[in-house]
Structure 1
Amino acid sequence: MRLTYSAQSPESIGFLLLPRFAMVAFFSAIEPLRIANRLTGESLFEWDLVSRDGRPVTASNGMAIDADHGLEDAPLTPSLAVCASFAPDDAIDETLIRWLRERAAQGCVLGGMDTGCVVLAAAGLLDDQTVTLHWESLPEFRARFPQVDAVESLYEVTAEGFSCAGGSSAIDMSLDLIRRRHGDDLAERVCAQLLHDQGRRPASRQRDPLMPEDPLLVRAIALMEANLDTPLGIGELAAELDLSWRRLERLFVRQLGTSPQRIYMARRLDHAHRLLRETRHSVMEIALACGFGSASSFTRAFRRQHGLTPSELRRRPSAAAAAGPLSHREPSSLELSSLEPSSLELSNRA
């Protein structure tokens, strides 16, 4: 999926499948390429599936996919997509990092799907690059890898590499590849076969979470998400937007039916829910990462939002294998209203 490619068809693309990779993203990347081959009657694209040891890899939905190669015998393809999803850190070790660095040194253009960029960043292969990954993983990724420009777009393709946010965004990235290599007509025909919206471009946002049309509220929510670990006071948030805090309060209540404090708290607690399920950080570390000064205040707020304590969530047998945390959906108005103002830990200072 490199930006430019002058070799003859078929164009070879490698997919490194890591345990618990996102099946939907993987299939979404492959299917447009398969359809392009079928519509033209030519082998425009081919792909090699790689696992650590050449054995089948189990995706996050429990299904296993056969691999064509292990790391030791994988062919050097012009580009390679690292496919991950939940707990990408579990797959990272010196062997994998060394292999990825060797591929990059040999001219292979590397990319990440869903959370694949976590693996590439840990290998030091994304410094000063612009990438994207699933919106839910962005706050932690930005904090962990400040040297990487991580944005909330559907996909990114540059001379250095490529990335997509997972899910259906992989369709958009593959359609972009088809369009660049073989023209708009073929891309549109593939799009029609997929019944896919042709209007999505790389800079399209991944989601529209409780997002009003008012650009001030769009900016306000973006500021909240950029400051989950050190929450801004509502006065500080309003000042960033050149508003009074009273006007900001009125905007949220009028357009979203709740206060900025409640929205902010819900986002912090949903981020905490994901960290509890997908990382090994302690409860106290997660509390601090989500802007809480103590484990007790974090536990009280978490129970009000999610109906159980952080420790109880981690003890659930299904926690490690669940398809996704509650933060994959937006909190309902009932859940938002259940957050008591006294628990919000946000000030209305001007």
Structure 2
Amino acid sequence: MRLHAPDTTPERIGFLLLPRFAMVAFFSAVEPLRIANRISGETLFDWATISQDGGPVTASNGMTLDADYAMAAAPNVPSLAVCASFAPEAGIDDALLDWLRARAAANCVVGGVDTGCFALAAAGLLDDQTVTLHWESLPEFRARFPRVDAVESIFEVTPDSFSCAGGSAAIDMSLDLIRRRHGDRLVKRVREQLIHDPGRRPASRQRDRGRPDDPNLQKALDLMEANLEAPLAIGELAARLNLSWRSLERLFVRHLGSSPQRVYLDRRLSHAQRLLRDTRHSVMDIALACGFASASSFTRAFRRRHGLTPSAWRQLP
């Protein structure tokens, strides 16, 4: 998936499968390559699956997949995709980080699928680069790794890295690879086999959230999403949009039937809910990541919304 083609055919890609990786994203990345091989009548792409210890890896859907290699025995490949999903930091340890750094030092282009960029960023391999990952994890990623430019796009490809948002976005990224290597004609035939809509572009947003017609409202919502950890005062939010406080209030009530304060709080609590479900962070750390000054203020707001404390909600089956 590197930008510049390697010197050999087939082009080999490694897929490092971390615990609870997204099976749908992995298969979505591989299937276009398989179809390209079949249509062309030759092996244009080859791939290998890698796990930390060489054993099978359990995906987020509970299914297991055998790995071809352990990290220590994996062959050199021009491109390596780190595949993760829920709890992306669960499998990260010093051995993994050292191995990723060694691969990058050996001119392997490393990238992330779904939330795989957490491991790459922890290894210090993404500083000052533009990446994407699943929209649910963007706020936490941005807070953890402020030196990485994390955007909500379908996929990103640079000379030094690649990344996609997971799910069907991996199809788009693999189709882009096929197009760059072997042209539009082949990618069109692969897309037809996948019955895939050609309308999405790399910079397309991951979610169709029914973007409001009013551009000021959309800008306000985008500012809220980008400032969950350190919430903006409503007056500052209005000032950034060149609106008065009252105009901003009327805008939200007219389109969303709620005040900007309530919408902002709901978004922070929704992010907290995802962190409680998908990470092992303490309630205090989650409170701070969602813009609450203390665990007690977070607990009160969370209980008003869900009827349970964050700790009790986390214990639900």
Question: Which residue of structure 1 lines up, in the alignment, with residue 245 of structure 2?
Answer: 245
Mean Cα deviation higher: 307-316 or 82-91: 307-316
State the 1:306 CA deviation. Answer: 3.0
Answer with 303-312 or 37-46: which moved more.
303-312
Name the aligned partner's letter for residue 146 of structure 2: P
Instruction: Return the offset for 1:209.
Output: 2.8
What residue identity is the alignment partner of 2:98? R
1:54 is matched with which residue? 54
Give yes or no for contact 1:17–1:82 (8 Å, CA) kept in 2: yes
Q: Secondary structure at the match of 1:159?
A: coil
Post-superposition shift, 1:66? 0.7
> What runs of 5+ residues in structure 2 fail to find an aligned partner?
none
> Is 1:134 matched with 2:119?
no
Aligned partner of 2:41 in structure 1 is 41
Contact 2:143 2:229 in 1 (8 A): no
What's 2:188 paired with? Answer: 188
Q: CA deviation at 1:257?
A: 2.9
Q: 1:43 to 1:142 in 2, by over 3 A?
A: same
Residues 210 and 270 (structure 1), Cα distance of their counterparts in 2 relative to 1, 3 Å cut: farther
Distance (whole Å) between structure 2 residues aligned to residue 215 and residue 196 of structure 1: 30
> Which range moves more in the overlay, 270-279 or 115-124?
270-279
| 1:42 to partner: Cα distance | 1.4
- Within a 5 Å distance, the mapping from 1:71-82 to structure 2 comes to 71-82=71-82
Q: How many angstroms does 1:202 deviate by?
A: 1.1
RMSD of equivalent CA atoms: 1.3
Counterpart contact for 2:130–2:149, Cα < 8 Å: yes
Task: Assess if the C-alpha contact under 8 Å between 1:21 and 1:58 holds in 2.
Answer: yes
Output aligned runs, 1:253-268, within 5 Å: 253-268=253-268
State the match for 1:3 in structure 2.
Answer: 3
Partner residue, 2:83:
83
Query: Is the CA contact (8 Å cut-off) linking 1:211 and 1:217 kept in structure 2?
Result: no
* Worse overlay, 210-219 or 198-207: 210-219
Q: Distance in 1 between matches of 2:106 and 2:289?
A: 38
1:186 partner letter: L
Quote the residue 2:225 is aligned against: 225
Q: CA deviation at 1:79?
A: 0.1
- Whether contact under 8 Å (2:6, 2:78) holds in the other structure is no
CA drift of 1:171 comes to: 0.6
CA change 1:305–1:191 in 2 (3 A) is farther
Structure 2 Cα separation of the partners of residues 307 and 37 of structure 1: 54
Conserved? CA contact 1:17–1:83, under 8 Å: yes
CA–CA separation in structure 2 for the residues paired with 1:30 and 1:83 = 12
Identity percentage of aligned residues: 73
Task: Determine the structure 1 residue equivalent to 2:108.
Answer: 108
Residue matched to 2:270: 270
SS of match in other structure, 2:73: coil
- Could you tell me how far apart the structure 1 residues matched to 2:268 and 2:209 are? 14
Q: CA deviation at 1:187?
A: 1.0
Shift of 1:90: 1.6
* Amino acid aligned to 1:311: S
Match of 1:63 in 2: 63
Task: Report how far residue 300 of structure 1 moved.
Answer: 2.5
The yes-or-no answer on 1:150 pairing with 2:177 is no
Q: Secondary structure at the match of 2:90?
A: helix
2:95 aligned counterpart, secondary structure: helix
Partner of 2:99: 99
For residues 168 and 265 of structure 1, the distance between their equivalents in structure 2, rounded to whole angstroms, comes to 30
Q: Aligned with 1:89: secondary structure?
A: coil
Structure-2 separation of matches of 1:161 and 1:94: 21
Distance 1:26 1:137 in 2: 18
Distance 2:151 2:242 in 1: 24
- For 2:176, the equivalent position in structure 1 comes to 176
Q: State the one-letter code of the partner of 1:15.
A: F
* TM-score, reference length from structure 2: 0.96
Structure 1 distance, partners of 2:167, 2:42, is 27
Equivalent residue, structure 2, for 1:323: none
User: Tell me, what secondary structure is at the counterpart of 1:90?
Assistant: coil
- Residue in structure 2 matched with residue 236 of structure 1 by the alignment: 236
Q: Which residue of 2 aligns with 1:347?
A: none
In structure 2, C-alpha distance between the alignment counterparts of 1:229 and 1:72, rounded to whole Å: 38
Query: How far off its partner does 1:172 sit?
Result: 0.5
Q: Could you tell me how far 1:195 is from its partner in structure 2?
A: 1.6
1:210 CA displacement: 4.8
Distance 2:253 2:38 in 1: 52
Whole-angstrom CA distance in 2 between matches of 1:60 and 1:18: 10
Please name the residue that 2:124 is paired with: 124
Partners of 1:294 and 1:96 lie apart in 2 by 34
**1:87 is matched by which residue type in structure 2?**
A
Contact 2:32-2:171 at 8 Å conserved across structures:
yes
8 Å contact from structure 2 (residues 143, 289) kept in 1: no
Q: How far 1:293 moved relative to its partner?
A: 2.4
Runs of 5+ consecutive residues of structure 1 not aligned to the other structure: 319-350
Alpha-carbon distance, 1:258 to partner: 2.4
Please identify, of 163-172 and 301-310, the stretch whose mean Cα deviation from structure 2 is larger: 301-310
Q: How many residues align?
A: 317
Counterpart in the other structure of 2:301: 301
